[in-house]
């Protein structure tokens, strides 16, 4: 027995905020982290050619700020959440960056803002009843229960140079803010479904961090199943991230071959099947060292058992987490047994 308002806000809030969009656009133009996307950089860099020395210097200052150890990502999220800057020196640097890049950004903003406003209208008018039930099932699965509330979660819509696949971000220290990259994504039924599933994925991240139980269960599975194997970490990631992300992407992601994708498909079965076929076709020999592809492969293998738990209303437990860890072991052992890559040249 559960209340349908465990976590899902009574009214979804989708926001088009110029300051948030500036911060997101500016970081797209800087190679500063592992989630840097080259095609986003290529597009927004070319869109604003030519770049002056002053403008490039401003991007260099932004990179230096974001690359501070243990600081940059949280600093960026504070900009997404419109928080004030306490450090006067950083505040002055940020103003210099904004002033130097204002003309470049305003040119992009004039193109992207109407698209973001269109998406805001689509999302606020969409009947989301099916996915609302899915999100409450996820809350039970993640041991959230009555710890969840109906506080407003604000979804900031930002630039995205992809016509089919949206992107999202959430951070445990900012439990009321989600970033959704949607501007250039087409507003077809399939793409709306994908955006709603990305939104659900980011809500799931916030749920995951609302209680310690999911992290503790995955940590125990890592220590028992993976740690004794002494695998090298694929793609320079952390095992905490790999296990969490493969679990959560089996539940919901921009792909529709997930629990949420199947439950909310409503006529999108062909897209779900297409996504599943694409994942199945990923050759193990082609994905070694590719963190995102490995996560996708494990999430696909885990989806049936995770969906069984969700359909039955069962909270995640030690046995489920052990099985997810074993999917990683099996995949990495397949990779270890591959013949060495042929030398190039």
B/e letters for 183-207, b = 16+ CB within 10 Å, e = fewer, are: bbbeeeebbbbbbbbbbbbbbbbbb
Please tell me the predicted confidence (pLDDT) of residue 269: 57
Give the separation between CA 218 and CA 238, rounded to whole angstroms.
13
The model carries a pTM of: 0.88
Please tell me the predicted confidence (pLDDT) of residue 125: 85
**Tens of pLDDT along 150-207?**
457 889 999 999 898 899 999 999 988 999 999 999 999 889 888 989 999 999 999 9
Residues of the chain with pLDDT under 50: 1-10, 150, 267, 343-345
Q: Which of 243, 162, 272, 267 is nearest to 180 (CA)?
A: 162
Do 148 and 203 form a contact (C-beta atoms < 8 A)?
no
Give the separation between CA 329 and CA 334, rounded to whole angstroms.
9
**Tens of pLDDT along 246-281?**
999 999 988 888 988 887 655 455 566 666 666 666
């Amino acid at each position: 027995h559960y209340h349908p308002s465990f976590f899902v806000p009574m009214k979804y809030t989708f926001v088009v905020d110029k300051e948030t969009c500036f911060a997101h656009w500016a970081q797209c133009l800087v190679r500063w982290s592992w989630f840097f996307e080259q095609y986003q950089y290529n597009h927004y860099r070319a869109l604003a050619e030519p770049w002056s020395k002053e403008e490039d210097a401003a991007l260099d200052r932004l990179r230096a700020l974001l690359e501070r150890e243990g600081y940059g990502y949280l600093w960026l999220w504070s900009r997404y959440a419109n928080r004030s800057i306490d450090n006067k020196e950083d505040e002055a640097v940020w103003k210099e960056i904004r002033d130097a890049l204002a003309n470049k950004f305003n040119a992009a903003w004039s193109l992207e803002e109407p698209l973001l406003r269109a998406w805001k209208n689509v999302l606020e008018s969409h009947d989301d009843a099916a996915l609302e039930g899915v999100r409450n099932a996820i809350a039970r699965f993640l041991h959230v229960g009555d710890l969840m509330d109906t506080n407003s979660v604000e979804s900031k819509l930002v630039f995205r140079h992809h016509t089919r696949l949206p992107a999202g971000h959430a951070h445990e220290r900012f439990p009321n803010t989600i970033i959704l990259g949607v501007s250039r994504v087409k507003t077809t039924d399939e793409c709306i479904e994908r955006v709603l599933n990305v939104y659900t994925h980011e809500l799931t991240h916030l749920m995951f961090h609302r209680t310690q139980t999911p992290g503790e269960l995955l940590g125990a599975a890592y220590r028992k199943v993976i740690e004794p194997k002494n695998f090298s970490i694929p793609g320079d990631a952390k095992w905490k991230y790999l296990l969490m992300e493969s679990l959560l992407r089996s539940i919901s992601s921009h792909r529709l071959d997930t629990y949420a994708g199947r439950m909310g498909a409503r006529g999108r079965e062909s897209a779900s099947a297409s996504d599943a076929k694409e994942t199945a076709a990923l050759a193990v020999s082609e994905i070694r060292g590719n963190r995102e592809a490995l996560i996708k492969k494990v999430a696909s293998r885990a989806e049936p058992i995770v969906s069984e738990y969700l359909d039955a209303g069962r909270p995640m437990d030690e046995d489920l987490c052990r099985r997810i860890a074993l999917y990683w072991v099996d995949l990495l052992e397949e990779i270890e047994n591959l013949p060495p890559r042929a030398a190039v040249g």
